[in-house]
A = this chain, B = another copy of it.
Amino acid sequence: MPKAKFEKIYKDLKEKIESQDYPYQGLLPSENTMVDIYGCSRNTIRRAVSMLADEGYVQPLHGKGVRIIYQPVAKAAFTVGGIESFKESAARNHKIAGTKVVQFAEITSDERIFEKTGFPVGSPLYYVQRVRYLDGKPLIFDINMFLQSVVKDLTPAIAASSIYEYLENTLGVQIVTSKRKMTAERTTQIDEKYLELNDYDFLAVITSQTFDSNGILFEYTQSRHRPDYFCFQDTAIRKRT
């Protein structure tokens, strides 16, 4: 439950847009109208609206109004977006999630790991490999590294449920920023061993670095998805240079 005013307004508008209460290609009420509706300042309205613009829900038109450009998506694949845990993604895609830990070790970052992940040389790390199941099928292979000084006392049992829940609820670590790269790669023998690949000999790969609320890089993940169950979404806004 959001407590900040702009978050409530943001959420309310978002719901109204998603339910087509405010329809595609229509305009939002003017800022001054919404000031009356929500009983707040124009700045607060503008903040909520600009969040929706960042997500590709609306597009403000100078002098005219704010056009709704959100369209409901027919989602066949497993869509990835925002920062969310595997469990959250699975729930959003209406699929049943499962996880099997196939490797769990403690290692120390060296030069090679530093180059790849950004963890300072000498940092103690947890190294985890997990197979992710959607509706019972092994479709995603995850390789994680966690900074031990942040993610304390990680166990295989925790890795098998939700590390994000453990971080947020038990350790109080706030996940804040995540940098990601998307590529497509040939399958490896490890992929073949653990995943149900059918005829696929390539995977969609997301590698990400995650920072906690202290601005410390504490997680590096490589997530390897079977292509027919993968879709990565994004919205970009042009800025003048």
Q: Which residues of A contact B (CB under 8 A)?
A: 2, 7, 25, 53-54, 56, 59, 61, 67, 69, 71, 77, 81-83, 118, 174-185, 201-204, 211, 213-215, 217, 227, 230-241
Contact = CB atoms under 8 A, between A and B. Distances in A.
Closest 7 CB pairs of A and B: A67-B215, A182-B232, A184-B227, A202-B202, A184-B204, A184-B184, A83-B238
B201 A201 contact: yes
Given A211-B69, A238-B83, A230 B174 contact: no
Given A59-B211, A71-B118, A176-B237, 10 more contacts: A2-B240, A56-B177, A67-B215, A69-B217, A81-B236, A179-B234, A182-B182, A184-B203, A184-B227, A202-B202
Contact of A176 (B184, B201, B238): B238
A61 B214 contact: yes
A81 B217 CA distance: 22
A34 to B, nearest CB: 18
Contacts of A176: 59, 237-238
A233 B211 CA distance: 16
A22 to B, nearest CB: 13
